[in-house]
Amino acid sequence: MKGGAGGRPQMSMQQMQQFMAMMGGGRGGGGGGRNQGGRKGGKKVIQGGGKRKGQNKERVPFSELPEERKQEIRERQEARAQEEGRTEVGSEEYTGTLVSRVSRHGWVRPQNPGQLPKEVQNKMRKMCNEMKNKFEDKSSERAQTFGKGVLYVRRSDCEEGQQFDKDMQVRFRVYTDSQGAGAYDVTVA
């Protein structure tokens, strides 16, 4: 703070914004203190009217994108796989059930987990235990999904243009990486 007219200290713009956020004033505020993000219940307020980057754009299916854009996305996904140390394990194809799906990823339960390569089984077990331990309620449906052993699958590792839904039978190959184990080349069984 600097000295101002009449000997009163002046705040910089940054200090004023911090003060307003702490007091709950300004955009999106509504009471609450410092650790509550300006709202009751501890929910964060998004500055700038509540819109996030890209929210107004309508999502275009990958299959309908121009080839140039598809190539950019594939390159970015390949770079991510390399960063995570993805190693394809064998070339054998397995079957399983898609037990949950989110817009960009899901989880596949192998039909016969004992037939997966030992390395994949070990990584899958470790990954599932870590995921299950993140849930406070170990008996919840989501926690139980990990208790039965699943493989991670990215939407980009699925057949292009194919709709994948929960409980769908799929075929896939397996890999390991720094995160655990996953499925790729996923197609409808």
pLDDT in tens, 66-96: 999 989 988 998 898 899 899 999 999 999 9
- CA angle 5–6–9, rounded 5-degree value: 65
Residue 156: which domain range?
A: 62-188
For the entire predicted model, the pTM comes to 0.65
Residue 78 lies in a domain: yes
Domains held by the chain: number = 1
pLDDT of residue 118: 96
Q: Is 127 domain-assigned?
A: yes
7, part of any domain:
no
CATH number of the domain to which 142 belongs: 2.40.50.140
| Confidence check: pLDDT of 20 > 50 | yes
123-139 pLDDT, tens digit each: 999 999 998 888 888 78
Q: Which amino acid is at 163?
A: Q
Distance, in Å, from the CA atom of 152 to the CA atom of 95, rounded to the nearest integer, reads 14
For residues 171 and 28, what is the distance between their CA atoms, to the nearest angstrom?
48
